[in-house]
Amino acid sequence: MKFGVVVFPGSNCDDDTVGVIQSLGYEAVKLWHKETDLQNCDFIIVPGGFSYGDYLRSGAIARFSPIMEHVIEHAKNGGYLMGICNGFQVLVEAHLLPGVLLRNSSQKFISKNIYLKAATNNSLLTQELDTNKAYKIPIAHAEGRYFTDEKTLASLKANDQILFYYCDENGEVTEESNPNGSLLNIAGICNEGRNVFGMMPHPERAADPDLNNTDGLEIMKQLILQTV
């Protein structure tokens, strides 16, 4: 399997993402946003950062970069696609994932470790995660508050598209453990086709023993299992 990591002006987690994929023994290449060739990549990742300085809305300009036409086509043809933090924002702007990501309820940029838990094993991204475990993963965003209308929320729940919830260190989903005011503590979702994934926390930043945290590596490993 070959991974492609899209790089926009302002991306800052592309090296982290490439490094994790390569540490798992798989090829990963960077795809500059002005390119139109996905280089035969099987799995595309849109990483975190501040594409175009987060002007207008986070992800709103990046969504129109030349490469995105081909990323969208890749996803619509059933190819795997994942957006992390700013990447999640780009994917909702491209209407590849439902809902929006609003300013944090605190109206402040938040950078800290939080806990999340897998809501389901019915997706490539969560297939072998322990749904009872609280994974410690960092967040770093100002617009991470997931929101959608009641009809879409009901559809997300009915189709088992909610992948992650913010929780406390004991795995309890509580109002206090919600760092940004996301609806129902939602930290990550997938599309109806289950090939497009988005999450606000940064698993690629918690994937190195030197950082004393490899909880994120457990999440990134799901991408290469290919059992779903």
Q: Specify the pTM.
A: 0.96
Question: In the structure, what pLDDT confidence band is assigned to residue 209 with cuts at 50, 70 and 90?
Answer: very high
* 165 within 8 A of 129, measured Cβ to Cβ: no
* 48 within 8 A of 134, measured Cβ to Cβ: no
204: annotated active-site residue: yes
Mean model confidence pLDDT for the chain:
96
pLDDT tens per residue across span 143-158: 999 999 999 999 999 9
Give the residue-averaged pLDDT of 154-183. 98
Task: Return the closest-CA partner of residue 145 out of 103, 204, 90.
Answer: 103
Give the residue-averaged pLDDT of 78-92. 98
Task: Return the closest-CA partner of residue 22 out of 5, 35, 7.
Answer: 5
Find the range with the poorest average confidence among 59-68, 98-107, 126-135, 179-188: 59-68
pLDDT tens per residue across span 87-105: 999 999 999 999 999 999 9
- Burial bucket for residue 2 (CB in 10 Å: 0-12, 13-18, 19+): middle
202: annotated active-site residue: yes
Q: Which of the following is catalytic: 93, 143, 204, 218? A: 204
Q: Which of the following is catalytic: 33, 74, 141, 202? A: 202
Residues 6+ apart with CB under 8 A from 75: 44, 81, 96, 191, 195, 196
Q: Rounded distance, CA 168 to CA 173, Å?
A: 6
Q: Rounded distance, CA 149 to CA 56, Å?
A: 22
For position 228, what pLDDT does the model report?
Answer: 43
pLDDT tens per residue across span 179-208: 999 999 999 999 999 999 999 999 999 999
Is the pLDDT confidence value at 56 over 90?
A: no
Task: Return the closest-CA partner of residue 93 out of 154, 12, 34, 8.
Answer: 8
- The domain locations on the chain are 2-224
pLDDT tens per residue across span 7-53: 999 999 999 999 999 999 999 999 999 999 999 999 999 999 999 98
70: annotated active-site residue: no
Q: Which of the following is catalytic: 13, 41, 85, 167? A: 85
* 178 within 8 A of 146, measured Cβ to Cβ: no
For position 227, what pLDDT does the model report?
Answer: 45
From residue 126, alpha-carbon distances to 6, 78, 97, 221, 227 in Å are 22, 18, 17, 10, 11
Architecture of domain 2-224: 3-Layer(aba) Sandwich (3.40)
Task: Return the closest-CA partner of residue 163 out of 210, 200, 214.
Answer: 200
* 48 within 8 A of 86, measured Cβ to Cβ: yes
